[in-house]
Structure 1
Amino acid sequence: MLSSLIKNRPLCIALTVGSLLYSTLFLAGICIYECPVPILFDARCPGCGLSRSIVALLHGDILSSLRWHAFTIPVLLIFFVIGIACILPQSGIKHLSSFIERSEKLTKWPYCLLILLTAYSLTRVALTF
Protein backbone atom coordinates (compact mmCIF):
# COMPACT_ATOMS: atom_id res chain seq x y z
CA MET A 1 0.00 0.00 0.00
CA LEU A 2 2.19 2.87 1.23
CA SER A 3 5.31 1.08 -0.04
CA SER A 4 3.83 1.04 -3.56
CA LEU A 5 2.80 4.67 -3.34
CA ILE A 6 6.20 6.02 -2.38
CA LYS A 7 7.79 4.30 -5.39
CA ASN A 8 5.79 6.68 -7.60
CA ARG A 9 7.73 9.96 -7.27
CA PRO A 10 5.39 12.07 -9.48
CA LEU A 11 2.39 11.01 -7.40
CA CYS A 12 4.26 11.72 -4.15
CA ILE A 13 5.19 15.18 -5.42
CA ALA A 14 1.62 15.90 -6.50
CA LEU A 15 0.23 14.78 -3.13
CA THR A 16 2.82 16.78 -1.20
CA VAL A 17 2.44 19.98 -3.24
CA GLY A 18 -1.36 19.69 -3.14
CA SER A 19 -1.37 19.11 0.61
CA LEU A 20 0.98 22.00 1.28
CA LEU A 21 -1.02 24.32 -0.97
CA TYR A 22 -4.32 23.34 0.65
CA SER A 23 -2.84 23.67 4.15
CA THR A 24 -1.34 27.07 3.44
CA LEU A 25 -4.60 28.40 2.03
CA PHE A 26 -6.58 26.90 4.91
CA LEU A 27 -4.27 28.52 7.47
CA ALA A 28 -4.72 31.83 5.60
CA GLY A 29 -8.50 31.47 5.97
CA ILE A 30 -9.12 30.69 2.31
CA CYS A 31 -11.38 27.69 1.71
CA ILE A 32 -10.84 26.26 -1.78
CA TYR A 33 -12.73 23.04 -1.26
CA GLU A 34 -16.23 22.37 -0.04
CA CYS A 35 -16.77 18.80 1.07
CA PRO A 36 -19.47 17.11 -1.02
CA VAL A 37 -20.43 14.54 1.65
CA PRO A 38 -22.66 16.84 3.76
CA ILE A 39 -24.15 18.35 0.61
CA LEU A 40 -24.96 15.02 -1.08
CA PHE A 41 -25.82 12.86 1.91
CA ASP A 42 -26.81 15.34 4.62
CA ALA A 43 -24.36 13.59 6.93
CA ARG A 44 -21.10 14.46 8.63
CA CYS A 45 -18.05 13.65 6.52
CA PRO A 46 -15.81 10.90 7.93
CA GLY A 47 -12.84 13.24 7.45
CA CYS A 48 -14.62 16.21 9.00
CA GLY A 49 -12.39 18.14 11.36
CA LEU A 50 -9.11 16.85 9.98
CA SER A 51 -7.90 20.28 8.84
CA ARG A 52 -8.90 21.90 12.14
CA SER A 53 -7.26 19.02 13.97
CA ILE A 54 -3.99 19.60 12.12
CA VAL A 55 -4.12 23.32 12.94
CA ALA A 56 -4.71 22.52 16.63
CA LEU A 57 -1.81 20.09 16.58
CA LEU A 58 0.46 22.69 14.95
CA HIS A 59 -0.45 25.04 17.80
CA GLY A 60 0.56 22.35 20.29
CA ASP A 61 -3.00 21.63 21.45
CA ILE A 62 -2.97 17.85 21.26
CA LEU A 63 -6.26 17.33 23.15
CA SER A 64 -8.19 19.66 20.83
CA SER A 65 -6.54 18.01 17.88
CA LEU A 66 -7.71 14.58 19.02
CA ARG A 67 -11.21 15.93 19.69
CA TRP A 68 -11.47 17.23 16.12
CA HIS A 69 -10.21 13.98 14.57
CA ALA A 70 -8.54 11.02 16.25
CA PHE A 71 -6.53 9.95 13.19
CA THR A 72 -4.65 13.19 12.59
CA ILE A 73 -1.30 11.91 13.79
CA PRO A 74 -1.31 8.73 11.64
CA VAL A 75 -2.44 10.76 8.62
CA LEU A 76 0.34 13.31 9.18
CA LEU A 77 2.92 10.54 9.58
CA ILE A 78 1.85 8.99 6.28
CA PHE A 79 2.01 12.37 4.52
CA PHE A 80 5.42 12.98 6.13
CA VAL A 81 6.72 9.71 4.66
CA ILE A 82 5.25 10.66 1.26
CA GLY A 83 6.96 14.06 1.52
CA ILE A 84 10.28 12.44 2.42
CA ALA A 85 9.94 10.20 -0.64
CA CYS A 86 9.83 13.35 -2.79
CA ILE A 87 13.32 14.41 -1.81
CA LEU A 88 15.12 11.09 -1.38
CA PRO A 89 17.39 9.83 -4.13
CA GLN A 90 16.16 6.74 -5.97
CA SER A 91 18.31 4.46 -3.81
CA GLY A 92 16.80 6.00 -0.66
CA ILE A 93 13.29 5.47 -1.99
CA LYS A 94 14.17 1.84 -2.69
CA HIS A 95 15.39 1.32 0.90
CA LEU A 96 12.43 3.18 2.42
CA SER A 97 9.85 1.31 0.33
CA SER A 98 11.55 -2.00 1.17
CA PHE A 99 11.45 -1.20 4.90
CA ILE A 100 7.80 -0.14 4.74
CA GLU A 101 6.86 -3.16 2.62
CA ARG A 102 8.41 -5.51 5.19
CA SER A 103 6.57 -3.75 8.04
CA GLU A 104 3.29 -3.91 6.09
CA LYS A 105 3.68 -7.64 5.49
CA LEU A 106 4.85 -8.42 9.01
CA THR A 107 2.33 -6.40 11.00
CA LYS A 108 -0.51 -5.76 8.51
CA TRP A 109 -0.66 -2.21 9.92
CA PRO A 110 -2.31 -0.65 6.85
CA TYR A 111 -5.27 -3.02 7.16
CA CYS A 112 -5.54 -2.44 10.91
CA LEU A 113 -5.42 1.33 10.36
CA LEU A 114 -8.03 1.10 7.61
CA ILE A 115 -10.38 -1.00 9.76
CA LEU A 116 -10.00 1.34 12.73
CA LEU A 117 -10.49 4.43 10.56
CA THR A 118 -13.59 2.90 8.95
CA ALA A 119 -15.09 2.01 12.36
CA TYR A 120 -14.27 5.48 13.69
CA SER A 121 -15.76 7.17 10.63
CA LEU A 122 -18.94 5.10 10.66
CA THR A 123 -19.38 5.81 14.36
CA ARG A 124 -18.97 9.56 13.77
CA VAL A 125 -21.48 9.50 10.92
CA ALA A 126 -23.95 7.39 12.94
CA LEU A 127 -23.75 9.82 15.86
CA THR A 128 -24.88 12.70 13.62
CA PHE A 129 -28.27 11.10 12.97
Structure 2
Amino acid sequence: MLKRFPFELVCWLGGLLFLAVANPGETHFTVCPLALAGLNWCPGCGLGRSVSALLHGDLRASFGYHWLGLPATVILTHRILILFKNYLNSLRIYA
Protein backbone atom coordinates (compact mmCIF):
# COMPACT_ATOMS: atom_id res chain seq x y z
CA MET A 1 0.00 0.00 0.00
CA LEU A 2 1.45 3.35 -1.03
CA LYS A 3 1.20 6.21 1.42
CA ARG A 4 -0.06 9.54 0.11
CA PHE A 5 2.40 12.37 -0.40
CA PRO A 6 2.17 14.74 2.62
CA PHE A 7 -0.01 17.78 1.92
CA GLU A 8 2.09 19.96 4.24
CA LEU A 9 5.20 19.14 2.24
CA VAL A 10 3.45 20.11 -1.00
CA CYS A 11 2.37 23.44 0.53
CA TRP A 12 5.84 24.36 1.82
CA LEU A 13 7.55 23.32 -1.41
CA GLY A 14 5.00 25.22 -3.47
CA GLY A 15 5.38 28.32 -1.34
CA LEU A 16 9.15 28.33 -1.53
CA LEU A 17 9.04 27.60 -5.26
CA PHE A 18 6.70 30.56 -5.77
CA LEU A 19 9.04 32.82 -3.76
CA ALA A 20 12.04 31.50 -5.70
CA VAL A 21 10.56 32.52 -9.06
CA ALA A 22 8.87 35.74 -7.89
CA ASN A 23 10.62 39.07 -8.20
CA PRO A 24 10.92 40.46 -4.66
CA GLY A 25 11.02 44.03 -5.96
CA GLU A 26 7.57 43.87 -7.54
CA THR A 27 4.26 44.17 -5.75
CA HIS A 28 2.26 40.96 -5.37
CA PHE A 29 -1.09 39.99 -3.97
CA THR A 30 -1.34 39.66 -0.21
CA VAL A 31 -3.12 37.27 2.10
CA CYS A 32 -2.23 39.32 5.19
CA PRO A 33 -5.44 40.05 7.13
CA LEU A 34 -3.99 43.28 8.53
CA ALA A 35 -3.09 44.61 5.08
CA LEU A 36 -6.47 43.55 3.72
CA ALA A 37 -8.11 45.44 6.61
CA GLY A 38 -6.28 48.59 5.49
CA LEU A 39 -3.69 48.74 8.26
CA ASN A 40 -0.30 50.01 7.18
CA TRP A 41 1.83 48.12 9.70
CA CYS A 42 2.16 44.40 10.23
CA PRO A 43 4.96 42.56 12.10
CA GLY A 44 5.30 40.11 9.20
CA CYS A 45 5.30 42.65 6.39
CA GLY A 46 8.24 42.06 4.08
CA LEU A 47 8.87 38.49 5.24
CA GLY A 48 7.86 36.96 1.91
CA ARG A 49 9.97 39.46 0.00
CA SER A 50 12.85 38.77 2.38
CA VAL A 51 12.70 35.02 1.73
CA SER A 52 12.36 35.67 -2.01
CA ALA A 53 15.41 37.95 -2.04
CA LEU A 54 17.35 35.36 -0.07
CA LEU A 55 16.40 32.62 -2.56
CA HIS A 56 17.66 34.93 -5.31
CA GLY A 57 20.99 35.23 -3.47
CA ASP A 58 20.58 38.85 -2.35
CA LEU A 59 21.35 38.71 1.37
CA ARG A 60 21.51 42.49 1.82
CA ALA A 61 18.08 43.05 0.27
CA SER A 62 16.73 40.12 2.29
CA PHE A 63 17.74 41.78 5.56
CA GLY A 64 16.40 45.09 4.25
CA TYR A 65 12.93 43.63 3.69
CA HIS A 66 12.74 41.76 7.01
CA TRP A 67 15.46 40.57 9.37
CA LEU A 68 13.67 37.26 10.06
CA GLY A 69 13.84 36.14 6.42
CA LEU A 70 17.00 34.09 6.90
CA PRO A 71 15.80 32.24 10.03
CA ALA A 72 12.41 31.63 8.40
CA THR A 73 14.08 30.12 5.33
CA VAL A 74 16.28 27.89 7.48
CA ILE A 75 13.29 26.73 9.55
CA LEU A 76 11.15 26.04 6.45
CA THR A 77 13.98 24.18 4.74
CA HIS A 78 14.51 22.07 7.86
CA ARG A 79 10.78 21.30 8.04
CA ILE A 80 10.72 20.29 4.37
CA LEU A 81 13.69 17.96 4.88
CA ILE A 82 12.07 16.36 7.94
CA LEU A 83 8.76 15.83 6.11
CA PHE A 84 10.53 14.36 3.09
CA LYS A 85 12.64 12.06 5.29
CA ASN A 86 9.51 10.87 7.11
CA TYR A 87 7.78 10.25 3.78
CA LEU A 88 10.72 8.19 2.50
CA ASN A 89 10.80 6.21 5.74
CA SER A 90 7.08 5.49 5.42
CA LEU A 91 7.68 4.14 1.91
CA ARG A 92 10.26 1.71 3.27
CA ILE A 93 7.80 0.48 5.89
CA TYR A 94 5.15 -0.27 3.25
CA ALA A 95 7.61 -1.77 0.75
Percentage of matched positions with identical amino acids: 29
SS at match of 2:7: helix
SS at match of 2:42: coil
Correspondence for 1:14: 7
TM-score normalised according to structure 2 size: 0.62
Alignment CA distance shift 1:87-1:20 (3 Å):
closer
* Count of aligned pairs: 79
Instruction: Name the CA shift for 1:16/1:69 in 2 (closer, same or farther; >3 Å).
Output: farther
The answer for unaligned runs of 5 or more in structure 1 is: 1-9, 93-129
Any conservation in 1 of the 2:12–2:80 contact (CA below 8 Å)?
no
Q: 1:42 is matched with which residue?
A: 39
CA contact (8 A) 2:53 2:59 kept: yes
**Structure with greater proportional helix content:** 1
The CA distance in 2 between the partners of 1:22 and 1:36, in whole Å, is 18
Q: Which has the higher contact order (CA 8 A, sep 6+)?
A: 1
Whether the 8 Å CA contact 2:22–2:52 is kept in 1: the answer is: no
TM-score (structure 1 length as normaliser): 0.48
- Whether 1:71 aligns to 2:74 is no
2:59 corresponding residue in structure 1: 62
Q: Could you tell me how far apart the structure 1 residues matched to 2:35 and 2:86 are?
A: 41
Pair 1:77–1:24, CA change in 2 (3 A): closer
CA deviation profile, 1:49-95 (whole Å, cap 9, x unmatched):
112111211222111100101011111111112111112248x8xxx
Instruction: In structure 2, list runs of 5 or more residues that go unmatched.
Output: 90-95
- Superposed counterparts of 1:1-129, under 5 Å: 13-26=6-19, 27-28=21-22, 33-40=30-37, 42-89=39-86
**Structure 1 residues 60 and 28 mapped into 2: Cα distance closer, same or farther (>3 Å)?**
closer
Shift of 1:33: 4.6
Partner Cα separation in structure 1 for residue 22 and residue 68 of structure 2: 23
